[in-house]
Amino acid sequence: MQTLTILGGGSAYTPGLLQALIAHAGELPLTTVRLYDTDAGHLAIVARLTSAMAQQANAFKVEVAPTLEAAIAGADLVLNSTRPGGLAARRIDESLPLEFGLPGQETVGPGGFFFALRSVPEALRVAAVMQDLAPDAILLNYTNPSNIVTQALVNRGGVKVIGLCDQSDEDLLALCHALGRPARYTFRCNGLNHATWYSDVLIDGAPLAAHNAPLAPPDDYDDEHKLRFELSLALAREHAGYWPNSYLPYYLFPQAFVAHARRVGPRSDVVAASLDRYYAHFEAEGKRARPELKFFRGSAGFGDLAVTAIRALASSTPHELVLNLPNLGATASFAHDTVVETRVRVSSAGIERLPAPHLPTSFYGLAKQLERYQRLTAKAAAGGDHQARVAALAANPLVGKPLLAANMINQARASYPDWPKARA
């Protein structure tokens, strides 16, 4: 497990990921990290910075690959962390649903569906190249919507796939912060990516319910994250013993997010406006003899989860983590081959699923709807025809009706500059 390839290597998330890999280089088997991106300018800036960082720490070699094939050939691990369509497409994912009175979110609802139509074919292309040029490699998929992309890859078969998302750590850290406790927590979980419930939560050794402090969102959260936290708290009050994934409020209080987005505009605009500052910092540090990375996109959890997963896969002692994988009996709430987000024990010998806790009973119906939506969308995005797309989008619990789904798809076809054509 010596060569790690990062697809989306020019992203503003990559320096933070590399910082985590460098900090743990002694525990990882890596000798080479290969970066590949379709944005050559950003790739050059990030590669220069991260290779200087890695060299200074004597960690591993950082190299740039000129093509997808060159990036993948001979790799042991391929980390897919791309955004097909870029922020311009994300802006449409976030705006178009609002015109139909639905939340505009890049992973939830219609926005997530349109993102999946772009992400799934790209991920399948990666899988095809891997099968040819790195048949034993493991594909670690961070690309969103992570559950749908991972489901499509699992359906395809032919490559080893693990889906990643660090949201559970982000949510638990927010709780620690709200309680004013150190970041020490354990939890179990069940559900689908961005739609899980946490249970058996212990913070700083004590059950969540035993902490009496009033819970307020972290100060550094923006308004949308504060809203998600406050609505999570409302859901937790209705479901004793549970805490929801902070994306669940989009499904359960959609109008709160519609109103919010109409007030503040799309998140992609905030992200786009911040990028110059990130790349200016990366470029400036990349030129220094001793580069110092002071900030990067994404939470620390993004890099930490990748480090934990890679370390676990290479280690003879099992490590526990939360991954997106085919259920295979971890929970009775979903079908055997549905990709679920679940706690597992990982080592070089394999992956052992730990029994998942029960979901709150009031969530059973929504869980089944989301499962059906995930499976239909994974198939439709992998090469379905127009009818398959309409049926998949209609299965989204926020959409519900085929006529509404068809109208949204027609509008989307006219809105995205590179609309992925359906199979005839």
Q: Which is nearer to Mn ion, 165 or 231 (CB)?
A: 165
Q: Among the residues of 339-385, which ranges form H helices?
A: 364-381
Q: Name residues contacting Mn ion, limited to 176-215 (CB under 5 A).
A: none
Q: How far apart are the first and last CA of the chain?
A: 41
Measured at the CA of 99, the angle between CA 98 and CA 103, to 5 degrees, comes to 15
Q: Is 167 in the site for ligand G6P (CB under 6 A)?
A: yes
CA distance 311 to 159: 20
Q: Name residues contacting ligand G6P, limited to 115-144 (CB under 6 A).
A: 144
Q: Which stretch in 48-56, 68-76, 166-174, 363-371 sits in contact with Mn ion by CB under 5 A?
A: 166-174
| Helix (H) or strand (E) run with residue 117 in it | helix 109-133
Q: Which of 85, 68, 76 is nearest to 7 (CA)?
A: 68
Q: Is 228 in the site for ligand G6P (CB under 6 A)?
A: no
| Nearest-approach distance from CB 397 to Mn ion, in angstroms | 19
CA distance 202 to 198: 11
In this structure, the dihedral spanned by the alpha carbons of residues 192, 194, 196 and 197, taken in order and rounded to 10 degrees, is 180
CA distance 231 to 246: 8
Q: Is 165 in the site for ligand G6P (CB under 6 A)?
A: yes
Q: Which is nearer to ligand G6P, 52 or 139 (CB)?
A: 139
- 271: partner contacted, choices ligand G6P, Mn ion, none (Cβ within 5-8 A by kind): ligand G6P
| Nearest-approach distance from CB 3 to ligand G6P, in angstroms | 25
Q: In the chain, how many H helices and how many E strands? A: 15, 13
Residue by residue, DSSP assigns 311-341 as HHHH-SS-EEEEEEEE-TTS-TTS-TTSEEE
195-211 core/surface letters (b: 16 or more CB in 10 A; e: else): bbbbbebebeeeebeeb
Q: Name residues contacting ligand G6P, limited to 91-110 (CB under 6 A).
A: 107
Number of residues that bind ligand G6P (CB under 6 A): 7
CA distance 5 to 51: 14
Q: Tell me how crowded residue 356 is: count the other CB atoms within 10 A of its CB.
A: 24
Q: Which is nearer to ligand G6P, 39 or 170 (CB)?
A: 170
Q: Which is nearer to ligand G6P, 190 or 196 (CB)?
A: 196
Q: Is 167 in the site for Mn ion (CB under 5 A)?
A: yes
- 87: partner contacted, choices ligand G6P, Mn ion, none (Cβ within 5-8 A by kind): none
Can you read off the two tokens belonging to residue 390? 């309409």
- 267: partner contacted, choices ligand G6P, Mn ion, none (Cβ within 5-8 A by kind): ligand G6P
| Nearest-approach distance from CB 257 to ligand G6P, in angstroms | 14
Q: Which is nearer to ligand G6P, 167 or 308 (CB)?
A: 167
CA distance 18 to 22: 6
Strands 77-80 and 195-203, by their bridges, are unpaired
| Nearest-approach distance from CB 388 to ligand G6P, in angstroms | 25
| Nearest-approach distance from CB 166 to Mn ion, in angstroms | 7
Position closest to ligand G6P via CB: 167
CA atoms within 13 A on the CB side of 130: 27
Q: Is 211 in the site for ligand G6P (CB under 6 A)?
A: no
Residue type present at position 261: A
| Nearest-approach distance from CB 192 to ligand G6P, in angstroms | 13
Q: Which is nearer to ligand G6P, 170 or 304 (CB)?
A: 170
Contact map string, positions 55 to 94, toward ligand G6P, x by CB under 6 A? ----------------------------------------
Q: Name residues contacting ligand G6P, limited to 319-348 (CB under 6 A).
A: none
Q: Which is nearer to ligand G6P, 52 or 227 (CB)?
A: 227
CA distance 35 to 23: 18
Position closest to Mn ion via CB: 165
Peptide bond into 145 cis (omega under 30): yes
- What letter does residue 363 receive in the DSSP assignment? G
| Nearest-approach distance from CB 184 to Mn ion, in angstroms | 22
Q: Which stretch in 46-54, 164-172, 205-213, 383-391 sits in contact with ligand G6P by CB under 6 A?
A: 164-172
Q: Name residues contacting ligand G6P, limited to 245-304 (CB under 6 A).
A: 267, 271
Tell me if 94 sits within 8 A of 82, measured CB to CB.
no
| Nearest-approach distance from CB 403 to ligand G6P, in angstroms | 30
Q: Which stretches does DSSP call E strand in 209-338? A: 242-244, 319-326
Q: Which stretch in 115-123, 163-171, 230-238, 249-257 sits in contact with ligand G6P by CB under 6 A?
A: 163-171
Binding footprint of Mn ion on the chain (CB under 5 A): 165, 167
Binding footprint of ligand G6P on the chain (CB under 6 A): 107, 144, 165, 167, 170, 267, 271
